[in-house]
Amino acid sequence: MNTADLGLPVDVPSTALFTDQYELTMLRAALKAGTAERRSVFEVFTRRLPNGRRYGVVAGTGRVLDAVENFRFDPGVLGFLRERRIVDEETLKWLADYRFSGDIWGYPEGEVYFPGSPIMRVEGSFAECVLLETVILSILNHDSAIAAAASRMASAAGDRPLIEMGARRTHELAAVAAARAAYVGGFATTSDLAAGFRYGIPTVGTSAHAFTLLHDRERDAFQAQVETLGRGTTLLVDTYDVAEAVRTAVEVAGPELGAVRIDSGDLLLVAHRVRQQLDELGATDTKIIVTSDLDEYAIASLAAAPVDAYGVGTQLVTGSGHPTSSMVYKLVARADSADPKAPLVPVAKKSSGGKMSVGGRKWAARRLDADGIAEAEVVGTGPVPAELADRQLLVPLVRGGTVVAREPLDVPRDRHIAARGNLPLSATQLSRGEPVIPTEYVHGRSGS
């Protein structure tokens, strides 16, 4: 099922106003100056990874494609712009017919990236490309931050599954995007039904402390849940006394009890005690799920604990301390006209203060060592060296305004596992460090 075509209620009818006003003022001025139709190349990249992170994760690409398709200035949007006098009538007329007709290339979703990686390249007229800046950045910055946190958590968890359960800790629509990004980064399921509905992510959920507190006795709550959901359900055992709750849970459900969930206390100590108690009661196959403000460090600290799955909320949906990827969208080349054959001229910001950019339409490739492990991110302009021709990272996403790269969400999820597996082993270390491979620049003519 292609959920992008369903028009679900978690979407908005138009993404045209997911933009900053200065993009429309630039458009208005460029139309007046006669430069709006100049062929242009914009690139998305980050100058640095979040402090201490060793790699980034590309996520949100599929949502960007949806946003570009839905970037339409319908009568209501145009009326708002007219009423606020944000643009003039000439610009409104141009916007009424807006359809992105250019090309977009990018790292495939789930791929890893490094400082300077041209994560996405948008090509077309200046006018049609500049309008997409904010919506592209808002999606990629958010989703890539969540996916990077998810990836670190998945590395720490090893073979144990991760449950995304952060919907109540963020904006309701951000929660859906976060669940999607977490799935790309390695999470197995989500508690958010909108994410399951919109993207087909497997959903899970049983009960909270409120359900136990509703009943006169903990036993009554467990009995009601087991009678309704079956013996394979997960019972929450830390509302009162954990040891007593585990004993009651096995008495009610029998040794076939699916799992118990622990949501508080010293998780390492409690998990060992609960595992021992479950085994003594004959519930040797009953799993233990832990929650309670987990992050990648807490998950790593539980590696030796008898834990079967982790539920993660707040730290995941806030990027585990890094809620944005600090990506930027910069003009790197432009022609003197709209002619497709007109040569591109590299352009770049040269000001001081750490915000310089590198001009020219870029390619990127990942050089591998003799064992097939990444050793450098190579970014360049002009011809691609022959030895890197089959290692190029950018793929076509949109051609002539038509999306050409939609894929089921399991594809970028599997892609990320493979990409992370091809990095040096130090990529999975949680200690602070520099990017796990360096970025090398190869300068040549920008080409057209």
CATH no. for residue 80? 3.20.140.10
Q: Please, which pLDDT band fits residue 318 given cuts at 50, 70 and 90?
A: very high
Give the alpha-carbon dihedral of 242, 248, 254, 256, to 10 degrees: -30
Q: Which amino acid is at 283?
A: A
Confidence check: pLDDT of 296 > 90: yes
pLDDT tens string 407-445: 999 999 999 999 999 999 999 999 888 999 999 999 875
Question: How do strand 112-113 and strand 56-57 relate by DSSP bridges?
Answer: antiparallel
- Is 160 inside any structural domain? yes
Instruction: Check which CATH number belongs to the domain holding 299 and give it.
Output: 3.20.20.70
Q: Are residues 153 and 256 in the same domain?
A: yes
Q: Please, which pLDDT band fits residue 352 given cuts at 50, 70 and 90?
A: low
pLDDT tens string 210-242: 999 999 999 999 999 999 999 999 999 999 999
CB 148 within 8 A of CB 53: yes
Please give the residue range of the domain that contains residue 219: 148-321
Structure tokens at 347: 């352009």
For 437, phi then psi, to 5°, come to -135, 150
**DSSP string covering 194-208, please?**
HHHHHH---B-----
Q: Round to whole Å and give the CA distance between 255 and 43.
A: 57
Residue 331: how many other CB atoms lie within 10 Å: 19
Q: Please, which pLDDT band fits residue 13 given cuts at 50, 70 and 90?
A: low
Confidence check: pLDDT of 258 > 50: yes
How many structural domains does the chain have?
A: 2
CB 388 within 8 A of CB 365: yes
Q: Are residues 268 and 382 in the same domain?
A: no
The predicted structure's pLDDT at residue 4: 47
Given the structure tokens 């998305």, which residue do they identify?
44
Helix (H, G, I), strand (E, B) or coil at 337: coil
Confidence check: pLDDT of 164 > 80: yes
Structure tokens at 53: 């992170």
Q: For the chain, report the end-to-end CA distance as a whole number of angstroms.
A: 38
Helix (H, G, I), strand (E, B) or coil at 447: coil
Given the structure tokens 């309008």, which residue do they identify?
131
